[in-house]
Structure 1
Amino acid sequence: MLGFLILIFVAVPVLELVLLIRIGNWIGVLPTILLVIATGVVGASLARSQGLAALARMQQELAQGRPPVASMIDGFLIFAAGVLLLVPGIITDVFGVAFLLPPVRALVRRGLANRLRRMAEAGTARFTIMDTPRWPQHESHEHEERPRGRDVTDL
């Protein structure tokens, strides 16, 4: 895991910088800057429209009583695509555009499902269910008196 984090936060930015310098030398500084800005704007627009479509699919699946697992993963990947496209660089743009393509998202979704299944079978997956806290937590209603009068039985 540490190697993965080093790759993301050190190696990728260095590679992005080297690639941007080379592209800048090849096509010029201004076209390179415009390319970076254009991919950010177009990517944000595409991520927004596809994200709204994924949200609509989630709501539709919930309304039909089905768990929206695939739509939730798609929504996460579309969000990740938007973030990657907003980060200046060619490598992140390639991955961002790839995550916007439905066939690529389907492959990633299957890969994630297989990995989670293997982790669950090996006993290395941990799933946590978080409940909302009671508000306010410090108050107890045990000291309250029952309403006086006859008991009511609801049928």
Structure 2
Amino acid sequence: MGAITPAMRAEYGQPADWIPAKVLERIDNAEILDRLDEARDLIHKADHAAPDLVWGYRDRAREVCAAEPRDDVERRAQQWITKAEQATTAVHAETCRAEARSIRNANPPAPRRPRTRPPTAEEVRHAEWVASLKAEINAQVRQQTRGRLEALESGVHSLTATVADLTKAAQ
């Protein structure tokens, strides 16, 4: 379903090779990008971490990339949680919850990140139309404002002249 593109390989480098082919077939591009973003973040942390933490961050990045699809993991874990809720003994319930935790721990999910999609051709045309409409309205407003400003300036000039004449007459 998803695929690693040459652009992804160029942007993310080695982590793009850490997602197994069998997993790539079952996840979409949004999840691929989430995994690669998380791996890049973890590698960045490793580059700035204390020496004893470096391999932990790098291993976690590999685990995130190699994990089963997050929807499958969550569905499997939820099945165990449901079994735990239906269990008749506390021991059985705890065993079921432990199995759900084990599934989630073995397949760490990459956090979902907001993704923006490219605008459609219609959305681009609409945005261009709105921009041209705004430019036309701004031009009209400037023209009207310029006319009013000129009228105000001539009124101020004539009032200034009248005040000057009155001041001369009063002296």
TM-score (norm 2): 0.24
| Higher-helix-fraction structure | 2
Larger radius of gyration: 2
TM-score (norm 1): 0.26
